[in-house]
């Protein structure tokens, strides 16, 4: 009887853990992130915006990375710098979703870096209204 009860509890706990989905935060705009930067400092964020000023670089261990400026569609909202490891798959003008850790302000050697996302994902947002060609 004790063994059956233990298995029932284990099965119930397993089902509960399986059925609970992780919380997913909604994506922010660049304007929202800049206005509430202190709230999101050193937190994972998802931000949408337009890519400008893409630069491909090589790191200290000869590993490629790239940076770009993420702008809000409302041009007066401001900019966020994004840094991502690997080779760039985006170009100027692309609409993207960026997921990564946001730093409102951070010391790097003698300089201070402000409003930067160290990205783990950069995904192009394609216009769903355009027909597929091919």
Q: What is the pLDDT of residues 109-129, one digit of tens each?
A: 888 888 999 999 999 987 645
Average pLDDT rounded to a whole number, residues 89-113: 90
Q: Answer yes or no: is 33 within a domain.
A: yes
Provide the number of structural domains found in the chain.
1
Please give the helix or strand (H or E) that residue 19 lies within, else none. Answer: helix 2-19
Instruction: Kindly state whether residue 93 falls inside one of the protein's structural domains.
Output: yes
Whether 7 is covered by a domain: the verdict is no
- Whether 1 maps to a domain, the answer reads no
**61: domain CATH number?**
2.40.50.140
13 located within any domain = no
Parallel/antiparallel/unpaired status of strands 28-29 and 64-71 = unpaired
Residue 30 lies in a domain: yes
pLDDT of residue 122: 95
> Cβ-count burial of 69 within 10 angstroms (0-12 exposed, 13-18 middle, 19+ buried)?
middle
- Say if 131 falls within a structural domain: no
Domain extent, residue 52, equals: 25-124
Residue from 68, 67, 34 nearest 50 by CA? 68
């Amino acid at each position: 009887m004790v063994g059956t009860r233990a298995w029932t509890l284990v099965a119930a706990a397993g089902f509960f853990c399986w059925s609970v989905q992780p919380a997913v935060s909604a994506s922010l705009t660049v304007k929202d992130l800049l206005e509430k930067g202190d709230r999101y400092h050193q937190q994972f964020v998802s931000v949408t915006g337009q890519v400008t000023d893409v630069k491909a670089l090589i790191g200290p261990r000869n590993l490629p990375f790239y940076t770009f400026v993420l702008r809000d569609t409302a041009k007066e909202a401001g900019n966020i710098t994004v840094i991502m490891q690997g080779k760039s798959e985006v170009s100027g003008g692309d609409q993207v979703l960026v997921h990564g850790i946001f730093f409102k302000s951070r010391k790097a050697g003698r300089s201070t870096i402000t409003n930067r996302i160290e990205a783990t994902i950069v995904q192009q947002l394609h216009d769903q209204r355009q027909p597929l060609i091919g």
